[in-house]
């Protein structure tokens, strides 16, 4: 059956999960030798569509053509046999094997016999795509960027000519992103079709040839990059006009709220994960924290919130030392601090409980008697829904069924409700669509205006540079510098994230 | 044949009903075939099972007597399970509760009846609770695997009673037969409306546990801790104390069941005082979704199944093993159907043809 | 989960309705209200080839002879569960209950009090009431005979005895067996191993193996399974069974066994109940009543044993030989029964001491 001329062609793809229409007759055409970006808010159907192209889900109806031939995939193996491979956000690698062993793992060909020949073949691919992977290195020794390259190499070796990259830059430093983009361009030159899923408008504008915008399970439009702009794409994505700029409000006071000095902590293996952290935070200030994932951000936040054991150091909150105290003591001492943890459903909220019980989590300590009082919590839940525009079927609906953005709003709403003087937020916009991001930035600015001191941990340098007053960079458990966000550049931050100490920053 | 399991997305009410109905139909069909093999009419046997469980006042009473410990122990297990503390030790906690209560019953025979019974109830709770505290402490302090510890402690409890029954507590008037002396009338729970008072205690517990689990602060903390340890720490729950407290309650309730069984049913302590009901109650607690009202319903249904298969044994001369087999087959299908609400099986033919097309 | 339950409930309710409507077509259990119904409570399964098998043979004989309906429940534990089994049987219309193990005694007593119109017969106990009798047989007599066989066969002079519980019934049997052994082999000893079970093939076999390891060359038993017989067979030694002919389980080892024959007694009792002449009694029949006997000797039995056994049996039947006639000494050499007198029935029923020549302890 012939259909058009595009190399990859998806026609009228529909997929229903239970009662949710995930993709509603979607269409997508991708050519050989192009980088095709898929843009869309959370829940627009990007991942569902790509999971069907890579054989993880089976479409309920519709057709997939590769090179003018209709295909039906029932497993990722079928897809890779047809030349379609997907690089997921979470790598599927075995830590205790070397790069080479990971590539050869699960192959039907002989494993030991032809290892030499296969290695030669792999090296050819590396050369062709300018991929640099140390084949003898163990995966557990690799950085995130190296692992990603390995995943790409593995997929190419298995014969993929259509590569799907699911938000590949989310875990990378700016420098690593540059390397990735170089590889992607090389794939394009070699005649591969590259599909790039991303939230980040600037990256899409930098690398993509064409952009397909998805919204609520439907294909809205496919545009050539040269013929469009971020504003137009965003509006297509959201479905209405929108202001993309992040506002930075002026600081109002210099009153110091938090003073951290010489903070040290060990992880379970006894390795030092916080190495003498030192910084100040003022009322009405947003202090950004930048760093490669796993540099100590999580431990820093949890140490401040009394959830991570501290070896030594001082955490002075309005003159009171919080070091070594637990959340229960914070509550009984009336410490006015709120913490938005990175893992919303794993730490901040209880996934299977409804909004009322999740709000109760913060309130029940303060009521008298042995029984919980759900009425005030229910009232509060309704207020939060109204104030933050939470999309939910009702306050008694388990929050795990809400979208990421709405879950975050519930968490933020609850935490801000206690009128904290210090707000610690870890990756508050991670995984959220642009519309919700902007809403969250507004909320943070709102708090700043009220004089709340905010510690803002994030991975997206654009938002850090746009929103914060100062940016503190953490690398391998150490502060490599604190810079003025108005003057800093991405390159400067990137270098500091890799460990280069800022000249005027003395530890 | 080649087949794979695929996780299902959420399924609709209709699909759910179809799966469950299929499971029940299959259960009745398979056991029906088995009954035919025994040379009996399956429909008659099924009707006799119902008849044996509910057919007369006497049979209904017997079904309730079987259901009482199931309800109480399931309530106890539910507390621990809600916290995702896999307490497989109900059996041992029942036994230790019975042991503590029996100590009072055998040593303070002349105490006034209400006082003695109340004392025995308290002792039963204490015995089961303390037995539950041990694995809780190990888990909270050293992170030991509670499944194994609670399971092993069942054997310790059982062997302890065996020792008492064959040794120091052996009835001197039993001519050497290893049994513990019967309780005096003072230590035996009286009947109320045809069945021993245990059913009233069970119903009171159902109400208490309903409010405890759904409306008390401790119950709330237990639920939060069960869902996420980190969230519980975040919310300021004292993890150590909550684990200990809830296991004391969990074991204590099981201990109460032990007291009731020893006093009202056995009229003494014996190695059979729990008789495996501590394990059965895991099934009923789970099928009852750890919720008090559902636990009552499931326990009564389960008791009916037990009673029904006991009835057909003597009514049709079916051997004990065959009757258990029928009971097990019905359970297997009903429990197993839960799996098919979450997964579906993709069979070889479909899998292969699709793969072939793709490779062409 | 809730949904499962809802569906279950609906099905159950509709089934209950069906039952309600079908009530007029009675279930088999409710059939023949006029017919006499007799219930049997068994400690093991009828297929145990031992104690329960012997009772079940009696039940079948009863059915055949009187045409009464019988129901039974197997593997009933000797605890409160047995009470429920009895009540269930009464609920199902049983008018006479034969409850066939010692440990049920107190439970029978309790249930008998609740149901004065029902006749209870308890096997091997010593309690009774108006509607509650006990019955047993002098199995000591054939045990004594089996001791003669074992005593003649033993070369090592050590004989093993796998025993259930140290209750008088079992102790009596061991003593009778030992006296039989000593009547032909005065220096032989009988080693006793307790299992604390009636029905546990693996455990009982294990106990026999332990005895064989200690050097015994004959295994006797007071157990309801053939486990010890199998152990003797596997080791190439010889054995004396119990309850019923166990030749099939250990063809090369089995020599003979004291056996029960309950059928005629059951017929007689049930007939008495039907005629309204039944009275509670403590029945204790011997070989001359036919309730107990020694199974035919197999080719494994020693030469001359048949003649010796027949002579002793004739003496017992003639009243010339009493198993527990004095002089009898206990393990410490203390004289328990002086020469010329006989141990009274009451003392036999409460026997808690071993005769000289038994190696074992009571009250462990």
> For residue range A442-483, what is the model confidence (pLDDT) as tens digits?
999 999 999 999 999 998 888 899 999 999 999 999 999 999
Q: Find residue A81's DSSP bridge partners.
A: none
Give A-chain residues touching B359 at CB under 8 angstroms. 78, 81-82
Compute the distance between CA of residue B350 and CA of residue B346 in angstroms, rounded to an integer.
Answer: 7
Does B10 contact A372 at a Cβ distance shorter than 8 Å?
Answer: no
> Would you state the pLDDT for residue C194?
94
Indicate where chain B has its CATH 1.10.3470 domain(s): 65-312
Give C-chain residues touching B55 at CB under 8 angstroms. 19
Does B228 contact A351 at a Cβ distance shorter than 8 Å?
Answer: yes
**Which CATH architecture best describes the domain A8-238?**
3-Layer(aba) Sandwich (3.40)
Residue A498, burial from CB neighbour count under 10 angstroms (0-12, 13-18, 19+): middle
Confidence of residue A107 (pLDDT cuts 50, 70, 90): low
Provide the whole-model pTM. 0.78
Compute the distance between CA of residue A131 and CA of residue C298 in angstroms, rounded to an integer.
Answer: 88
Give C-chain residues touching B287 at CB under 8 angstroms. 1, 4-5
Q: Residues B314, B129: contact at Cβ < 8 Å?
A: no
* Residue B360 scores a pLDDT above 50: no
A78, A348, A360 ranked by CB distance to B358: nearest: A78
CATH, domain range B65-312: 1.10.3470
In this complex, the chains that touch C, judged by 3 or more CB pairs closer than 8 A, are B
Compute the distance between CA of residue A59 and CA of residue C143 in angstroms, rounded to an integer.
Answer: 80
Q: Are residues C94 and C227 in the same domain?
A: no
Does C71 contact B314 at a Cβ distance shorter than 8 Å?
Answer: yes
Confidence of residue C22 (pLDDT cuts 50, 70, 90): very low
Confidence of residue C17 (pLDDT cuts 50, 70, 90): very low
Q: Which of B176, B196, B338 to mutate to test the interface with C (most CBs of C within 10 A)?
A: B176
Q: Angle A404-417/A434-449 helices, nearest 10 degrees? A: 10
Q: Judge C/A contact: 3 or more CB pairs < 8 A.
A: no
Q: Are residues C220 and C240 in the same domain?
A: yes
Q: Are residues C73 and C170 in the same domain?
A: no
> Would you state the pLDDT for residue C171?
94
Q: Residues C178, C360: contact at Cβ < 8 Å?
A: no
Owning domain of residue C122: 37-137+262-289
Each residue of B248-295: pLDDT tens digit? 999 999 999 999 999 999 889 999 899 899 999 999 998 888 999 999
Q: Are residues C115 and C198 in the same domain?
A: no
> C-alpha B299: how far from its chain's center?
8
b/e map A421-442, b = 16+ CB within 10 Å: bbbbbbbbbbbbbbbbbbbbbe
Give the chain B residue whose CA is nearest to the CA of A66: B358
Confidence of residue B351 (pLDDT cuts 50, 70, 90): very low
* Residue C23 scores a pLDDT above 50: no
Does A350 contact B354 at a Cβ distance shorter than 8 Å?
Answer: no
Residue B288, burial from CB neighbour count under 10 angstroms (0-12, 13-18, 19+): buried
Compute the distance between CA of residue C19 and CA of residue B94 in angstroms, rounded to an integer.
Answer: 36
Question: How close, in Å, is residue B319 to chain A by CA atoms?
Answer: 46
Q: Are residues C343 and C246 in the same domain?
A: yes
Q: Which of C31, C79, C165 to mutate to test the interface with B (most CBs of B within 10 A)?
A: C79
Compute the distance between CA of residue B244 and CA of residue B257 in angstroms, rounded to an integer.
Answer: 20
Are β-strands A8-17 and A20-30 bridged in parallel, bridged antiparallel, or unpaired?
antiparallel
C122 phi and psi angles, rounded to 5 deg: -110, 130
Give C-chain residues touching B299 at CB under 8 angstroms. none
Top pLDDT among B82 and B349 is at: B82
Confidence of residue C278 (pLDDT cuts 50, 70, 90): very high
Provide the token pair at A319: 């003159």
Tell me how far CA of residue C325 lies from CA of A350, A486, C140, C259, C316, in angstroms: 82, 116, 12, 23, 12
> Would you state the pLDDT for residue B251?
97
Strands, sheet with C37-41, edge to edge from the N-terminal-most edge strand: C69-73, C37-41, C96-99, C119-123, C132-137, C282-285
C16 in a domain, yes or no?
no
Q: Are residues C154 and C229 in the same domain?
A: yes
Average pLDDT over all residues of chain A: 87
Top pLDDT among A117 and A32 is at: A32
Q: Judge C/B contact: 3 or more CB pairs < 8 A.
A: yes
> Would you state the pLDDT for residue C8?
57
Of A5, A4, A7, the residue nearest A188 (C-alpha): A7
Confidence of residue A273 (pLDDT cuts 50, 70, 90): very high
> Would you state the pLDDT for residue C11?
56
> Would you state the pLDDT for residue A74?
84
ipTM here = 0.82
Give the three-state DSSP class for C88.
Answer: helix
Give the three-state DSSP class for C208.
Answer: helix
Compute the distance between CA of residue A64 and CA of residue A83 in angstroms, rounded to an integer.
Answer: 13
* Residue A170 scores a pLDDT above 80: no
| Lowest-pLDDT range of A116-120, A352-356, B149-153, C264-268 | A116-120
- The residues, ordered by sequence, that sit 6+ positions from C333 with a Cβ below 8 Å of its Cβ are C356
C114 vs B: CB within 8 A: no
Compute the distance between CA of residue A288 and CA of residue A290 in angstroms, rounded to an integer.
Answer: 6
* Residue B354 scores a pLDDT above 70: no
Q: Are residues C301 and C352 in the same domain?
A: yes
B216, B230, B231 ranked by CB distance to A370: nearest: B216
C18 in a domain, yes or no?
no
* Residue A2 scores a pLDDT above 60: no
Confidence of residue C21 (pLDDT cuts 50, 70, 90): very low
Give the three-state DSSP class for A328.
Answer: helix
B355 vs C: CB within 8 A: no
Confidence of residue B75 (pLDDT cuts 50, 70, 90): very high
C19 in a domain, yes or no?
no
The mean pLDDT value for A62-79 works out to 88
- pLDDT above 70 covers a percentage of chain B that reads 92
Top pLDDT among C223 and B13 is at: C223
C73 in a domain, yes or no?
yes
Each residue of A3-39: pLDDT tens digit? 456 889 999 999 887 777 888 889 999 999 999 999 8
> Would you state the pLDDT for residue B256?
97
Question: How close, in Å, is residue B350 to chain A by CA atoms?
Answer: 9
Provide the token pair at C349: 């029923």
Average pLDDT over all residues of chain C: 88
> Would you state the pLDDT for residue B27?
87
> Would you state the pLDDT for residue B347?
58
- Report domain extents, chain A: 8-238, 256-284+307-468
* Residue A54 scores a pLDDT above 70: yes
CATH number, domain containing residue C278: 3.40.50.2300
- DSSP readout, A115-168? HHHHHHHHHHHHHHHT----TTSBGGG--HHHHHHHHHHHHHHTT-SEEEEESG
Q: Could you tell me which residues of chain B have a Cβ less than 8 Å from any Cβ in chain A?
A: 4, 9-12, 211, 215-218, 220, 223-224, 227-228, 230-231, 233-238, 346, 350-351, 354-355, 357-360
Q: Are residues C328 and C346 in the same domain?
A: yes
> Would you state the pLDDT for residue B93?
97
C7 in a domain, yes or no?
no
Each residue of A300-341: pLDDT tens digit? 999 999 999 999 999 999 888 988 888 888 888 888 899 999
Q: Residues A381, A394: contact at Cβ < 8 Å?
A: no
C103 vs B: CB within 8 A: yes
> Would you state the pLDDT for residue B315?
81
> Would you state the pLDDT for residue A224?
92
Q: Are residues C41 and C160 in the same domain?
A: no
Number of Cβ within 10 Å of residue A386's Cβ equals 10
End-to-end CA distance of chain A: 68
Compute the distance between CA of residue C62 and CA of residue C318 in angstroms, rounded to an integer.
Answer: 29
Provide the token pair at A359: 């709000």
A273 phi and psi angles, rounded to 5 deg: -105, -20
> Would you state the pLDDT for residue B169?
92
Residue B189, burial from CB neighbour count under 10 angstroms (0-12, 13-18, 19+): buried
Compute the distance between CA of residue A483 and CA of residue A504 in angstroms, rounded to an integer.
Answer: 10
Q: Residues A460, A291: contact at Cβ < 8 Å?
A: no
The mean pLDDT value for B133-154 works out to 94
Tell me how far CA of residue C99 lies from CA of A302, B273, C89, C280, in angstroms: 69, 21, 11, 14
Compute the distance between CA of residue C292 and CA of residue C310 in angstroms, rounded to an integer.
Answer: 15
Compute the distance between CA of residue C253 and CA of residue B84 in angstroms, rounded to an integer.
Answer: 56
* Residue A72 scores a pLDDT above 70: yes
* Residue A505 scores a pLDDT above 70: no
Question: How many CA atoms does the CB half-sphere of B151 hold within 13 Å?
Answer: 7
> Would you state the pLDDT for residue A85?
92
**What is A256-284+307-468's CATH superfamily?**
P-loop containing nucleotide triphosphate hydrolases (3.40.50.300)
> Would you state the pLDDT for residue A89?
77
* Residue A79 scores a pLDDT above 70: yes
Q: Residues C176, C324: contact at Cβ < 8 Å?
A: yes
Number of Cβ within 10 Å of residue C319's Cβ equals 8
Q: Residues C225, C49: contact at Cβ < 8 Å?
A: yes
Q: Hunting for tokens 């000593």 — which residue is that?
A: C182
* DSSP 8-state symbol, B190: P
Confidence of residue C32 (pLDDT cuts 50, 70, 90): very low
Q: Report which secondary-structure segment, H or E, holds B187.
A: none
- pLDDT above 70 covers a percentage of chain A that reads 96
Of B98, B89, B126, B127, the residue nearest B281 (C-alpha): B89
b/e map B197-227, b = 16+ CB within 10 Å: bbbebbeebbeebbebbeebbbbbbbbbbbb
Provide the token pair at C321: 């030989």
Of B282, B288, B292, the residue nearest B88 (C-alpha): B282
CA dihedral defined by A180, A181, A182, A188, rounded to 10 degrees?
110
* Residue B18 scores a pLDDT above 50: yes
- The residues, ordered by sequence, that sit 6+ positions from A436 with a Cβ below 8 Å of its Cβ are A41, A42, A405, A408, A409, A429
Each residue of C112-122: pLDDT tens digit? 999 999 999 99
Does A371 contact B217 at a Cβ distance shorter than 8 Å?
Answer: yes
| Number of domain units in chain C | 2
> Would you state the pLDDT for residue B197?
94
End-to-end CA distance of chain C: 51
- pLDDT above 90 covers a percentage of chain C that reads 68
Confidence of residue B10 (pLDDT cuts 50, 70, 90): low
Q: Find residue C258's DSSP bridge partners.
A: C294
């Amino acid at each position: 059956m012939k259909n058009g001329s595009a190399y990859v062609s998806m026609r009228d793809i529909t997929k229903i999960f239970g009662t949710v229409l995930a993709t509603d007759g979607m269409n997508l055409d991708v050519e050989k030798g192009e980088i095709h970006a898929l843009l869309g808010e959370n829940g627009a159907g990007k991942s569902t569509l790509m999971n069907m192209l890579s054989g993880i889900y089976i479409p309920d109806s519709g057709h997939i053509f590769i090179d003018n031939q209709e295909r039906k995939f029932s497993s990722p193996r079928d897809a890779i046999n047809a030349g379609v491979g997907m690089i997921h956000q979470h790598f599927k690698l075995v830590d205790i094997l070397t790069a080479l062993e990971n590539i050869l793992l699960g192959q039907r060909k002989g494993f030991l016999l032809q290892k030499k020949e296969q290695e030669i073949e792999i090296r050819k691919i590396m050369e062709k795509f300018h991929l640099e992977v140390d084949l003898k290195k163990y995966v557990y020794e690799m950085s995130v960027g190296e692992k990603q390259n390995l995943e790409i190499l593995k997929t190419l070796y298995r014969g993929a000519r259509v590569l799907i990259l699911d938000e590949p830059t989310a875990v990378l430093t700016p420098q690593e992103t540059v390397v990735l983009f170089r590889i992607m361009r090389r794939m394009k030159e070699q005649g591969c079709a590259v599909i790039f899923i991303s939230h980040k408008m600037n990256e899409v504008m930098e690398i993509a040839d064409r952009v397909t915008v998805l919204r609520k399970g439907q294909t809205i439009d496919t545009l050539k990059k040269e013929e469009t702009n971020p504003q137009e794409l965003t509006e297509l994505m959201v479905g209405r006009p929108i202001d993309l700029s992040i506002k930075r409000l002026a600081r109002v006071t210099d009153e110091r709220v938090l003073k951290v000095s010489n903070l040290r902590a060990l992880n379970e293996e006894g390795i030092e994960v916080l190495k003498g952290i030192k910084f100040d935070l003022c009322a009405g200030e947003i202090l950004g924290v930048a760093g490669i994932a796993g540099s100590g951000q999580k431990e820093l936040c949890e140490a401040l919130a009394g959830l991570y054991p501290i070896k030594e150091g001082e955490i002075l909150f309005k003159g009171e030392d919080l070091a070594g105290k637990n959340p229960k003591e914070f509550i009984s001492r009336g410490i006015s601090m709120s913490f938005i943890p990175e893992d919303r459903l794993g730490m901040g909220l209880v996934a299977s409980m409804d909004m009322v019980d999740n709000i109760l989590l913060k309130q029940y300590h303060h009521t008298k008697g042995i029984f919980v009082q759900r009425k005030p919590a229910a009232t509060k839940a309704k207020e939060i829904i109204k104030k933050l525009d939470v999309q939910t079927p009702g306050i008694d609906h388990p929050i795990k069924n809400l979208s990421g953005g709405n879950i975050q709003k519930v968490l933020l709403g609850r935490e801000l409700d206690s009128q904290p003087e210090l707000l610690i937020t870890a990756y508050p916009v991670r995984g959220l669509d642009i519309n919700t991001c902007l809403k969250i930035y507004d909320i943070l600015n709102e708090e700043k205006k009220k004089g709340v001191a905010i510690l803002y941990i994030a991975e997206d340098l654009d938002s850090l540079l746009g929103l914060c007053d100062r940016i503190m960079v953490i690398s391998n458990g150490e502060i490599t510098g604190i810079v003025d966000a108005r003057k800093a550049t991405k390159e400067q931050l990137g270098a500091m994230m890799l460990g280069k100490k800022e000249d005027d920053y003395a530890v | 044949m080649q087949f794979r399991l695929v996780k299902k997305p959420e399924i609709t009410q209709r699909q759910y009903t179809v799966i469950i109905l299929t499971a029940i139909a299959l259960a009745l069909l398979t056991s029906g075939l088995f009954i035919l093999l025994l040379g009996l009419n399956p429909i008659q046997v099924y009707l006799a099972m119902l008849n044996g469980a509910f057919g007369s006042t006497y049979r209904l009473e017997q079904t309730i007597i079987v259901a009482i410990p199931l309800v109480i122990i399931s309530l106890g297990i539910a507390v621990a399970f809600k916290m995702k503390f896999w307490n497989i030790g109900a059996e041992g906690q029942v036994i230790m509760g019975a042991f503590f209560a029996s100590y009072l019953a055998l040593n303070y025979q002349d105490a006034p009846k209400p006082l003695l019974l109340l004392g025995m109830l308290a002792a039963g709770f204490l015995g089961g609770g303390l037995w539950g505290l041990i694995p809780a402490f190990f888990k909270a302090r050293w992170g030991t695997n509670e499944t194994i510890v609670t399971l092993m402690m069942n054997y310790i409890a059982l062997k302890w009673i065996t020792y008492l029954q064959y040794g120091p507590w052996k009835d001197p008037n039993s001519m050497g037969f290893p049994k513990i002396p019967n309780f005096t009338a003072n230590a035996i729970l009286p009947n109320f409306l045809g069945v021993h008072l245990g059913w009233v205690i069970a119903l009171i517990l159902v109400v208490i546990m309903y409010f405890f689990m759904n409306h008390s602060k401790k119950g709330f903390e237990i639920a939060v801790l069960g869902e996420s340890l980190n969230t519980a720490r975040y919310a300021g729950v004292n993890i150590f104390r909550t684990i200990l407290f809830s296991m004391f309650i969990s074991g204590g309730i099981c201990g109460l069941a032990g007291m009731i069984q020893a006093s009202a049913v056995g009229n003494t302590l014996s190695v059979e005082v729990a008789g495996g009901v501590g394990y059965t109650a895991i099934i009923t607690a789970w099928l009852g979704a750890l919720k008090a009202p559902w636990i009552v319903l499931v326990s009564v249904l389960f008791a009916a199944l037990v009673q029904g298969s006991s009835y057909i044994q003597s009514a049709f001369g079916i051997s004990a093993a065959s009757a258990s087999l029928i009971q097990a087959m019905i359970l297997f299908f009903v429990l197993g159907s839960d799996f098919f609400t979450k997964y579906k099986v993709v069979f070889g033919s479909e899998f292969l043809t699709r793969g072939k097309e793709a490779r062409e | 989960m809730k949904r499962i339950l809802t569906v279950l409930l609906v099905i159950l309710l509709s089934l209950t309705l069906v039952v309600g409507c079908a009530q007029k077509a009675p279930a088999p259990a409710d059939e023949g209200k006029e017919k006499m119904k007799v219930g049997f409570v068994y400690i093991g399964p009828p297929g145990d080839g031992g104690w329960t098998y012997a009772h079940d043979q009696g039940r079948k004989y009863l059915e055949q002879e009187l045409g009464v309906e019988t129901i039974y429940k197997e593997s009933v534990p000797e605890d409160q569960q047995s009470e429920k089994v009895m009540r269930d049987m009464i609920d199902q219309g049983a008018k006479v209950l034969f409850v066939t193990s010692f440990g049920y005694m107190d439970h029978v007593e309790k249930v008998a009090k609740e149901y004065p119109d029902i006749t209870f017969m308890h096997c091997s106990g010593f309690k009774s009431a108006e509607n509650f009798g006990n019955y047993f047989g002098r199995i000591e007599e054939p045990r004594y005979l089996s001791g003669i066989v074992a005593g003649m066969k033993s070369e090592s002079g050590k004989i093993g005895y796998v025993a259930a519980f140290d209750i008088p019934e079992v102790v009596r049997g061991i003593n009778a067996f030992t006296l039989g052994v000593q009547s032909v082999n005065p220096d032989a000893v009988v080693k006793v191993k307790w299992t604390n079970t009636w029905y546990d093939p693996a455990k009982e076999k294990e106990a026999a193996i332990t005895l064989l390891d200690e050097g015994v060359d004959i295994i006797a038993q007071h157990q309801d399974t053939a486990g010890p017989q199998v152990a003797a067979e596997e080791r190439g030694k010889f054995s004396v069974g119990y309850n019923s002919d166990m030749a099939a389980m250990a063809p090369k080892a089995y020599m003979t066994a004291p056996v029960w024959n309950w059928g005629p007694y059951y017929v007689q009792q049930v007939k008495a109940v039907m005629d309204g002449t039944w009275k509670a009694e403590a029945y204790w029949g011997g070989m001359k009543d036919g309730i107990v006997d020694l199974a035919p000797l197999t080719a494994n039995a020693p030469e001359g044993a048949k003649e010796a056994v027949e002579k002793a049996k004739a003496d017992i039947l003639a009243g010339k030989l009493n198993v527990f006639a004095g002089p009898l000494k206990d393990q410490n050499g203390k004289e328990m029964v002086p020469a010329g007198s006989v141990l009274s029935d009451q003392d036999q029923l409460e026997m808690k001491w071993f005769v000289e020549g038994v190696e074992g302890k009571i009250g462990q």
